[in-house]
């Protein structure tokens, strides 16, 4: 199991309805996108961290490991805003640092809001409920099968890589590249064969176009939703207040 999935299953909000957490996470995501970067994005990021560490009990180290790759991508994109290319060549862009900081702030706040939902809500709790909001059953089934096969392929990749290392497949750079090529081809063949067996198994069990799974009956908490809306409204109000006070 991937670290983010393990954290979601161990979260203190694990047994809450996904809609409860979606109101909070996507509400903060909307604030990060719609409100001014300063101070809106900063307030959103701070709120997410307080909720994640103080209430949802999200492990700080795992959150950092999951966030550093998107943050690095956002920082790389922000660097491009510092320069401009024209007929006179390459130069510093007007207001480039400000635009880069705004992009980085928005990206950080939005990414943290999405990670809050991911670290508190396993995908296995979300997929079976998508049919109730109008998502076609075929789309949900494909997503569920891909989600389950990812773990199988990840385990297969790990075992093959360990076997290659035990046979000195990582001893030199040339041997490592050869091992990587062999690993890719072996995983592809394994995934294709497993998909064929899965298709044959479903056909033998009378698959009619929909996978039926048991879903825990959890009610939407009105108190939690009301608290989430209050937090989102507080972020919006604080942002507008600071914008009007601080020019």
Are 90 and 199 members of one domain? no
Indicate yes or no: pTM above 0.75: yes
Position 21 in a domain: yes
Q: What is the pLDDT of residue 231?
A: 93
Helix axis angle, 173-204 to 137-166, nearest 10°: 140
Position 52 in a domain: yes
Q: In whole angstroms, how far apart are CA 206 and each of 38, 45, 202, 209? A: 56, 48, 6, 9
Q: What is the pLDDT of residue 244?
A: 80
Position 235 in a domain: yes
Position 212 in a domain: no
Q: What is the pLDDT of residue 247?
A: 59
Are 94 and 74 members of one domain? yes
Interval 166-191: pLDDT, tens: 888 888 888 888 888 888 888 888 88
Q: What is the pLDDT of residue 87?
A: 66
The continuous run of DSSP H or E covering 84 comes out as strand 83-86
Q: What is the pLDDT of residue 211?
A: 66
Position 95 in a domain: yes
Q: In whole angstroms, how far apart are CA 41 and each of 48, 87, 183? A: 11, 35, 42
CA atoms within 13 A on the CB side of 62: 19
Position 210 in a domain: no
Are 80 and 147 members of one domain? no
Are 137 and 23 members of one domain? no
Are 114 and 137 members of one domain? no
Q: What is the pLDDT of residue 168?
A: 80
Are 194 and 238 members of one domain? no
Cβ contacts of 4 within 8 Å, gap of 6 or more: 62, 66, 118, 119
Are 240 and 185 members of one domain? no
Are 55 and 158 members of one domain? no
List, for the chain, all residue ranges whose pLDDT scores fall below the cut of 50.
Answer: none
CA 149, CA 159: separation in Å to the nearest integer? 15
Position 127 in a domain: no
Are 114 and 15 members of one domain? yes
Are 73 and 185 members of one domain? no
Interval 24-54: pLDDT, tens: 999 999 999 999 988 889 999 999 999 999 8
Q: What is the pLDDT of residue 187?
A: 85
Query: Domain range spanning residue 143?
Result: 133-204
Domain count, the chain: 2
Are 168 and 240 members of one domain? no
- The tokens describing 67, both together, are 């966030």
Position 90 in a domain: yes
Are 224 and 111 members of one domain? yes
């Amino acid at each position: 199991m991937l670290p983010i999935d393990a954290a979601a299953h161990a979260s203190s909000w694990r047994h809450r309805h996904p809609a409860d957490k979606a109101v909070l996470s996507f509400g903060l995501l909307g604030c990060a996108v719609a409100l001014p970067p300063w101070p809106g994005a900063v307030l959103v990021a701070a709120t997410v961290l307080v909720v994640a560490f103080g209430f949802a009990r999200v492990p700080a180290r795992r959150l950092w490991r999951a966030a550093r790759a998107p943050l690095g991508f956002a920082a790389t994109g922000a660097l491009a805003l510092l320069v401009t290319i024209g007929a006179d060549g390459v130069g510093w862009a007007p207001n480039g640092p400000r635009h880069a900081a705004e992009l980085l702030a928005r990206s950080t706040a939005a990414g943290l809001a999405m990670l809050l939902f991911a670290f508190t809500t396993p995908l296995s709790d979300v997929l079976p409920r998508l049919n109730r909001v109008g998502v076609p059953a075929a789309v949900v089934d494909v997503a569920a099968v891909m989600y389950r096969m990812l773990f199988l392929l990840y385990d297969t990749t790990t075992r093959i890589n360990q076997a290659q290392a035990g046979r000195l497949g990582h001893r030199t750079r040339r041997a490592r590249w050869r091992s990587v090529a062999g690993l890719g081809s072996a995983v592809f063949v394994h995934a294709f064969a497993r998909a064929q067996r899965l298709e044959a198994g479903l056909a033998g069990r009378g698959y009619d176009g929909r996978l039926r799974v048991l879903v825990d009956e959890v009610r939407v908490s009105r108190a939690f939703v009301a608290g989430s809306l209050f937090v989102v409204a507080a972020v919006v109000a604080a942002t507008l207040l600071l914008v009007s006070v601080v020019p």
